Amino acid sequence: MSYISSLVKTLVNKAIEKDLIKQSDQIYARNQVLGLLHEASFQKEAELVNMDIPTILEELANLAVEKELIEGLLDEREQLTAKIMNVFISKPSEINQTFYEKYQQSPEKATDYFYQLSKDSNYIQTKRMAQNIHFKTASDYGELDITINLSKPEKDPEQIKREKEKKQDLAYPKNVLSVENEGYVGRIGYPARSNHRIINVPLEGEEWFLQYSPYVYYNEHSILLAEEHRPMNITRAAFARLTAFIDKFPHYFIGSNADLPIVGGSILSHDHYQAGHYTFAMTNAEEEFRFTLNDFADVEAMVVKWPLSVIRLRHQDRYKLVDASAHILQKWRAYSDPDADILAYTEDTPHNTITPIARRRGEVFEMDLVLRNNRTTKEHPMGIFHPHEDVHHIKKENIGLIEVMGLAVLPPRLKNELEAIREHLLGEKVTVAEYHHDWVQSIKSEHATITNENVNTIVKNALGQKFARVLEDAGVYKTTSSGRDQFKRFLSHLNKE
């Protein structure tokens, strides 16, 4: 019995089960997939296989390599599997129409539909994401999320070699966040997007588009991207768009990376935001103290208990929230306090910016403004308010929006390194990375008894404490009494003419 027929038959059945296609589409879909696999025949009586869609796609890619249709490089395999899934997905116009038909029932039904579609179509890499290690750990600031990112496949040497050989000065699509990625077949060195769809979500008179991240770090991890190719920029208009989005989708939060290097995210060249249906530790951060904005006296303003420096604003009128946020941004951009290591400029280079996050609490709009500064010194060449060297063994990359809210995205090397640490703590003779030695000694000194039963909890909690330290390093005002005095100096500055 033909194995390829079994795989194709099962894939078509799965697509019908998930409502990607109708029963009457099965012959068309089957023939399209067979054509992509250069398969001239099909056995109708082939038995179904017990596999999910991602596994079927892997098997079909393996068969394509055996048939020498592709060479087996990661990018070639992904181009083929994305093309196969594209057979089962409606055109962008039809998906947008369905999305907004469901939106008429409720915004949540619309996003539920699109999120499920993005998973069922294998655009969201659910099988790879399942490899990630994820847990919560207690801290002085609430339960932090820890993720060790294992989902992105490593490129083999041949793939890397081919990418260098095929290095081309291509400007299409302009970048991985461009609207032109929708349906793009891909090439060596650029991801396949045949099965990619986006939803048009106009904001404040501009064209913006909603998509989900292929590697979601939290529930319904979505990206909102501008149609126009322009750099990220935190402005009053950005605050207006953020609040307009949660007005349309009140069950989602939305935030933006800061718009300066070091404190910004990985892609500053294209204006975009990140959203989703998830409650982060920062969302639940307690009010520390309130203050008054004289020009916006009816806007609730407070500082929250969080390792980064967060001003939280609330009002039922989103436009008042936008005005108050713009006022704080303007003041912060130009603010210096040398005693707190805060300088607004070095010559003409700006250092102050904000990471904003917007959400709804019932009828109330809420905006968190996280104060950021990207200045460097000889002592801290990667940033004064960046993870310091003594925590680099855990995290030394930029602290972007996701980390700001309390979700650590940690490097894959930690999986094996933490396992070695656990074994070492239990008395096994294993090699622990040298850069972890001081940390391991501190864990030992804090725990008189370490057993098989408690070692995992001890290591997880220690990792959570390290991440809290990472976030404290990124806070421009520390959570000490002197740090709060410095913070209050800036808050007083907000009421000066």
Least confident of 22-26, 138-142, 200-204: 138-142
Q: What is the mean pLDDT of the chain?
A: 94
Q: What is the per-residue pLDDT for 250?
A: 98
Largest CA distance in the chain: 82
Q: What is the per-residue pLDDT for 129?
A: 85
DSSP 316-363: SSHHHHHHHHHHHHHHHHT--BGGGTB-SEETTEE-EEEEEEEEEETT
451 CB burial (10 A radius; 0-12, 13-18, 19+):
exposed
Give 159's pLDDT tier (boundaries 50, 70, 90).
low
Q: What is the per-residue pLDDT for 242?
A: 98
The domain locations on the chain are 408-474
Q: Name the amino acid, one letter, at 444.
A: K
Structure tokens at 459: 């290591």
Q: What is the per-residue pLDDT for 130?
A: 86
- Give the separation between CA 3 and CA 93, rounded to whole angstroms: 35
Report whether pLDDT(155) > 70.
no
Q: What is the per-residue pLDDT for 166?
A: 62
- Give the separation between CA 252 and CA 276, rounded to whole angstroms: 5
Report whether pLDDT(157) > 70.
no
Q: What is the per-residue pLDDT for 278?
A: 97
Q: What is the per-residue pLDDT for 266?
A: 73
Q: Is 352 left (phi over 0), alpha (psi -120 to 50) or beta?
A: beta
**Neighbour count for residue 220 (Cβ, 10 Å):** 19
Tens digits of residue pLDDT in 122-134: 999 988 888 899 9
Give the residue among 343, 435, 431 at the shortest CA–CA distance from 392.
435
Higher pLDDT, 2 or 29: 29
Instruction: Give the long-range contacts of residues 321-325, CB within 8 A, separation 24 or more.
Output: 321/239, 321/243, 321/365, 321/366, 321/367, 322/236, 322/239, 322/240, 322/243, 323/236, 323/296, 324/293, 324/295, 324/296, 324/299, 324/367, 325/236, 325/239, 325/356, 325/367, 325/369
Tens digits of residue pLDDT in 298-348: 999 999 999 999 999 999 999 999 999 999 999 999 999 999 999 999 999
Report whether pLDDT(448) > 90.
no
Q: How far is CA 453 from CA 139, 383, 422, 426, 457, in A?
A: 21, 40, 11, 10, 8
Give 162's pLDDT tier (boundaries 50, 70, 90).
low
Q: What is the per-residue pLDDT for 397?
A: 87
Q: What is the per-residue pLDDT for 317?
A: 97
